[in-house]
Chains A and B, each alone.
Chain A
Amino acid sequence: KQEVTQIPAALSVPEGENLVLNCSFTDSAIYNLQWFRQDPGKGLTSLLLIQSSQREQTSGRLNASLDKSSGRSTLYIAASQPGDSATYLCAVTDSWGKLQFGAGTQVVVTP
């Protein structure tokens, strides 16, 4: 059974620092990996989708890498801002076609 883990569970950084969020998964047979952002009381916003054949994806200040063989993905957010405060979730589409989520990393960026 696929298990997705995100460490740390919570992270606090001063504004301007780069954020590094980690996601690991136990079964490397995945179709893709998706990073989401969730604000309190709101839905999930898709940030980046990395197909299993790709090594990374970039969008603005966000960059996500994927190392399928080692079961790891990292989301980098450059020059963090208070507006980046949210919970970040990673999810893999497993070999059964199901989306399996990690528990999330709660990020606070202090001014």
Chain B
Amino acid sequence: EAQVTQNPRYLITVTGKKLTVTCSQNMNHEYMSWYRQDPGLGLRQIYYSMNVEVTDKGDVPEGYKVSRKEKRNFPLILESPSPNQTSLYFCASSLSGDSYNEQFFGPGTRLTVL
């Protein structure tokens, strides 16, 4: 089944403890991105990747890192999480960075930072 998977789905952690949220897609998509969703602010893009080894900042990149060593994986890294990073996170992918392509989303990761 073609899909985008994220792990973990739920995570409660404490301020300053490094964490990684994994994202994987099995559709051979070139373009991948991360979003966060907050009440009243909607979905905002954190980082995106046009292809392997090519990443760039989205609208809200502060406090996050990403890497794209393989085409299928695009992990989101929080080196020192803070409470304002408590949010619902989504990974997405599309065939290419061409703006005409449909984007597919993962199931989401609900992160709570205490």
A residues lining the B interface (CB < 8 Å): 31-32, 34, 36, 41-46, 49, 51, 89, 91, 93, 97-99, 101-104
Q: Which of B45, B100, B104 contacts A31 (CB 8 A)?
A: B100
- Given contact pairs A31-B99, A41-B110, a sample of 14 additional A-B residue pairs in the complex whose CB atoms are under 8 Å apart: A31-B100, A32-B100, A44-B92, A45-B105, A46-B104, A49-B102, A89-B42, A93-B99, A93-B100, A97-B97, A99-B43, A99-B45, A103-B40, A104-B42
Question: Is B13 engaged at the interface, CB distance under 8 Å to the other chain?
Answer: no
Name the residue on A nearest B4 (C-beta). A43
Q: How far is the CB of A24 from chain B (nearest CB, A)?
A: 14
Contact A32 B99 (CB under 8 A): yes
Chain B, 3-18, CB within 8 A of any chain A CB: 4
Contact A42 B108 (CB under 8 A): yes
Q: DSSP majority for the A interface?
A: strand
**With the chains together, A98 CA to B106 CA distance in Å?**
18
**With the chains together, A103 CA to B33 CA distance in Å?**
19
Q: Which of B42, B100, B102, B108 contacts A103 (CB 8 A)?
A: B42
Q: How many A-B residue pairs have CB under 8 A?
A: 48
Contact A89 B43 (CB under 8 A): yes
**With the chains together, A71 CA to B103 CA distance in Å?**
21
Chain B, 37-68, CB within 8 A of any chain A CB: 40, 42-43, 45, 58-59
Name the residue on A nearest B106 (C-beta). A43
**With the chains together, A96 CA to B105 CA distance in Å?**
20
Name the residue on B nearest A30 (C-beta). B99
Contact B58 A98 (CB under 8 A): yes
Name the residue on A nearest B50 (C-beta). A97
Q: How far is the CB of B72 from chain A (nearest CB, A)?
A: 18
